[in-house]
A and B are shown apart, each in its own frame.
Chain A
């Protein structure tokens, strides 16, 4: 079974402050981890995936297999970062379905 846990429903930070959205997963094989973002009144869209190892909109996420974590980080939060963030896992089996966490709402205030 695959499971994704996002412990925080809401994270409120000041503009310019560092951001860390937590994500832990449970999976017996080698997973592929993703972060999706949903801005207000918009559809879900891919933010980044661990295999790409890239920074998107200043966000990075490192897969830590020892801690089974894939936390999303950004050094300086911007107002436009306010959105709903979902961590997701895709297993290595043929089903290749995505399992989503419950999401964390990031609120960046002035």
Chain B
């Protein structure tokens, strides 16, 4: 299958700082990317859907000013957690899909964010 790479795999940051997580599709053009958040022993919760060149669509309850998503190219989307707080500590996962919405979405390996 296609490869989606997330960077970094883990990051520790201080409260009040911002953290950027990258999601890259390595061998296909990802017209749509999804960002999920996963709490320990819980399911993946969709945060937002981004289409290349467009503004991201956020799920209800997700603060768009807190979680900035940029999808400026067909191979890269970024999630920036602004003014991070300890409660933002979580596992963030991206997935990417090609132009046909019925095709499979491939997942990144996830990023463990710890805010201290």
Chain B positions within 8 Å of A107 at CB level? none
Give how many A-B residue pairs fall within 8 Å (CB-CB).
Answer: 38
The answer to whether B43 touches A101, judged by C-beta atoms less than 8 angstroms apart, is yes
By a CB distance below 8 angstroms, the chain A residues around B46 are 97-99
Q: Tell me whether A43 and B44 are in contact in the complex, defined as CB-CB below 8 angstroms, given that A95-B49, A97-B34, A97-B49 are known contacts.
A: no
18 examples of A-B residue contacts, CB within 8 angstroms? A43-B107, A43-B108, A43-B109, A43-B110, A44-B95, A44-B107, A45-B1, A45-B107, A86-B43, A86-B44, A95-B49, A97-B46, A98-B34, A98-B46, A98-B95, A98-B105, A100-B44, A101-B43
Q: Could you tell me the dominant secondary structure of chain A's interface residues? A: loop
Closest 9 CB pairs of A and B: A44-B107, A102-B43, A96-B101, A43-B109, A100-B44, A100-B43, A43-B107, A46-B104, A97-B46
Indicate the size class of the contact surface on chain B: 10 to 19
A95 and B110 contact, CB distance less than 8 A: no
Contact yes or no, A103 B110, CB < 8 A: no
- Kindly state the interface size class of chain A when it binds its partner: 10 to 19
Binding site for B on A (CB under 8 A): 9, 32, 42-46, 49, 86, 94-103
Q: Output the least CB separation between A32 and chain B (Å).
A: 8
Residues of chain A within 8 A (CB-CB) of B107 are 43-45
Please name all residues of chain B whose beta carbon is closer than 8 Å to the beta carbon of A32 when the two chains form the complex.
102
